[in-house]
Structure 1
Amino acid sequence: MATDLSFIEYIVEQSGLDDRITFKRMFGEYGIYIDGKVVAFACDNSLFVKSANATAELTASLPRRPPYPGAKPYPVADELLDDSDRLQALLLATANAMPEPKPKKPRKGRE
């Protein structure tokens, strides 16, 4: 089952991060970005947050499961969707723990 756009819009609204949070469709599901860094995936209308040592305490009580077959288990933050403060804290901590995105290489042969 693919994720509904309304679910993504709810995550964006609940995060309270305004223009800092974006999303991109990926393989029928969505990647969630903060300041250009991938911090989570929305799959089957669930929010899977990327794991990081820096967020271990924030995700300790969250259930874990793979977002798609063959993937490693990720913390599932669905229970935080109605708690804007905790959701925002987790997403920001995850963004701070992720490396800066690699600069995109310019396309060759097109002007």
Structure 2
Amino acid sequence: MATERSFVQYVAEQADLGPRLTYRKMFGEYALYLDDKVVAFACDNSLFIKPTQAVQGDYPDFPIRPPYPGGKPHPVIDELLDEPDRLTRLIIETAAQLPKPKPKKPKVRKTSTS
């Protein structure tokens, strides 16, 4: 079941991080980015956070399951959608513990020779 856009918009609204939190549709589901780092996935209208020490230390009891078939298990943090302050804090702490994204290689423009 594909995630509804309204669910992802609700997550962004609850997190209240403004333009810092973005999302992109991927294979019917969504990846959520904080400052260009993938911090979470919205799959089957559930919110999965990247597994980091932030989650393991403060929230060890979240259910863990793969966000999509064949994916690595991630903590499911749906219960934090009703606690925006904790959700925001966890997203920020998760992003702080993730490496910076690798710079994208510039696209090489092919020229035709005449």
TM range (shorter): over 0.9
- For 1:1-111, what aligned pairs fall within 5 Å after superposition? 1-109=1-109
Q: What is the aligned length?
A: 111
Cα deviation code 1:61-89 (max 9, x no counterpart): 21111111222221000000011001001
Q: Aligned partner of 1:28: which letter?
A: G
Q: Which runs of structure 1 show a deviation greater than 2 angstroms over 4 or more consecutive aligned residues?
A: none
Instruction: Find the aligned partners of 2:102 and 2:72 in 1 and give their Cα distance.
Output: 23
Larger radius of gyration: 2
Report if the CA contact (8 A) 2:40-2:48 is conserved.
yes
Q: Taking every aligned residue pair, what percent have the same amino acid on both sides?
A: 55
Q: CA RMSD in A?
A: 1.4
What are the ranges of 5 or more consecutive residues in structure 1 without an aligned counterpart? none
Instruction: Find the aligned partners of 2:110 and 2:40 in 1 and give their Cα distance.
Output: 33
Using the size of structure 1 for normalisation, the TM-score is: 0.94
Instruction: Find the aligned partners of 1:110 and 1:20 in 2 and give their Cα distance.
Output: 34
What are the ranges of 5 or more consecutive residues in structure 2 without an aligned counterpart? none
